[in-house]
């Protein structure tokens, strides 16, 4: 993998955005606050993810958190006191006004961007931090990691896709256990439930994550992106429409250079060299 590193954004907003060859690296950088998400952090993530496909060199997105925890949830002090701009409380209805352009824009952006997202989780992934991980395509977690939906313990209701993501990943009964009873689960249980890609030893997390990132950075990016989108859309479609989308997807992917390279590699009995085109 190329190690040509280009800093696209500083961590001043609490998120470091780094172009590292074919990898767009997004790193939450508020370790003193368990990387709790503020409005500027969410806005930075949205901008980076939505604009990533504009850079043809980017083939995979890597998401992580600095320090001992991936993300402890939303920074409710910052986001609920004057919208983070002062000491006065926000007006009634401010949550409903803000969510569509912040948390409720971020999760769909992750689910629909035609680039694979790999997320590495240490420590807590709670609330929106849990959903940030679950909206990724591959979640690798330290065996010490914990996934938690704290809403019920706060007499609050879930947001940022919790009631959509969890039932689809783990089933209704387990989703209720997490959302209605606020049960924490560890990474090994999350892997057994099919909620995450895998649980690894803490010392192996970075190595295992980088190996998967490297594999995806060398994959047939157009094919991977179209397939990701079809999987996402199939959750809301019947078989007839899913098959129709597969027909369109095959038509598009078969016109790529990587498709021709894949056929040539198969004929020549060698490993393909994909360029993402």
- Topology (CATH level 3) of domain 221-268: Lyase 2-enoyl-coa Hydratase; Chain  A, domain 2 (1.10.12)
pLDDT in tens, 173-197: 999 999 999 999 999 999 999 999 9
Q: What is the mean pLDDT of residues 260-275?
A: 85
* Residue 101 pLDDT > 80: no
Reply yes or no on whether the pLDDT at 244 is more than 80.
yes
Average pLDDT of every residue of the chain:
88
In order of 68, 73, 104, 184, 222, the CA distances from 130 in angstroms are 15, 7, 14, 11, 28
Residue 153, H or E segment: none
22-43 pLDDT, tens digit per residue, is 999 999 999 999 999 999 999 9
| Over residues 145-165, mean pLDDT | 91
Fold of 5-217: 2-enoyl-CoA Hydratase; Chain A, domain 1 (3.90.226)
The predicted pLDDT at position 250 comes to 79
According to the model, what pLDDT value does residue 79 have? Answer: 55
**DSSP conformation class of 13:** G
For residues 19 and 87, the model is more confident at: 19
| Helix, strand, coil content of the chain in percent (nearest 5) | 50, 15, 30
Residue 245 has pLDDT above 90, yes or no: no
Mean pLDDT throughout 230-242? Answer: 87
Closest to 132 (Cα-Cα) out of 71, 51, 55, 41: 71
* Alpha-carbon span 253 to 258, nearest angstrom: 8
Largest CA distance in the chain: 68
Residue 131 has pLDDT above 90, yes or no: yes
User: What tokens were used for 103?
Assistant: 């948390």
Structure tokens at 50: 């939505």
Domain with CATH 3.90.226.10 in the chain: 5-217
Q: Residue 73 to residues 131, 149, 190, 231: CA-CA distances in angstroms?
A: 9, 9, 18, 27
Identify the weakest region by mean pLDDT among 45-54, 90-99, 116-125, 262-271. 90-99
Which residue intervals of the chain are DSSP H helices?
A: 39-51, 76-80, 94-98, 103-112, 128-134, 162-170, 172-180, 187-192, 205-217, 221-234, 239-253, 257-268
Q: Give the orientation angle of helix 172-180 with respect to helix 162-170, to 10 degrees.
A: 140
Query: Residue 81 has what pLDDT?
Result: 47
Structure-derived torsion over alpha carbons of residues 126, 113, 271, 265, reported in degrees to the nearest 10 = 160
Structure tokens at 74: 């939303």
For the chain, residues classed under CATH 1.10.12 are: 221-268
Q: Does residue 22 sit in helix, strand or coil?
A: coil
């Amino acid at each position: 993998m190329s190690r040509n590193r280009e800093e696209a954004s500083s961590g001043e907003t609490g998120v470091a955005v780094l172009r590292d060859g074919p990898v767009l690296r997004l790193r939450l950088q508020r370790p003193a606050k368990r990387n709790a998400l503020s409005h500027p952090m969410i806005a930075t993530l949205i901008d980076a993810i939505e604009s990533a496909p504009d850079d043809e060199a980017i083939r995979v997105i890597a998401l992580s958190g600095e320090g001992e925890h991936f993300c402890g949830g939303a920074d409710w002090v910052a986001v609920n006191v004057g919208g983070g701009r002062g000491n006065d409380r926000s007006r009634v209805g401010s949550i409903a006004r803000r969510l569509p352009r912040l948390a409720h824009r971020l999760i769909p952006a992750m689910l629909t961007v035609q680039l694979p997202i790999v997320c590495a989780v240490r420590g807590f992934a709670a609330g929106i931090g849990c959903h940030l991980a679950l909206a990724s395509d591959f979640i690798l977690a330290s065996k010490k990691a914990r996934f938690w939906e704290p809403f019920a313990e706060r007499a609050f209701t879930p947001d940022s896709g919790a009631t959509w993501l969890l039932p689809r990943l783990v089933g209704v009964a387990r989703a209720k256990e997490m959302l209605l009873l606020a049960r924490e689960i560890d990474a090994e249980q999350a892997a057994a439930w099919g909620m995450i890609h895998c649980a690894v030893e803490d010392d192996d997390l970075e190595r295992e994550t980088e190996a998967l990132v490297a594999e995806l950075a060398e994959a047939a990016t157009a094919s991977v992106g179209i397939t990701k989108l079809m999987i996402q859309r199939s959750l809301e479609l019947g078989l007839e429409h899913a098959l129709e989308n597969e027909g369109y997807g095959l038509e598009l992917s078969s016109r790529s250079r990587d498709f021709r390279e894949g056929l040539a590699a198969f004929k020549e009995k060698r490993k393909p060299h994909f360029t993402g085109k």
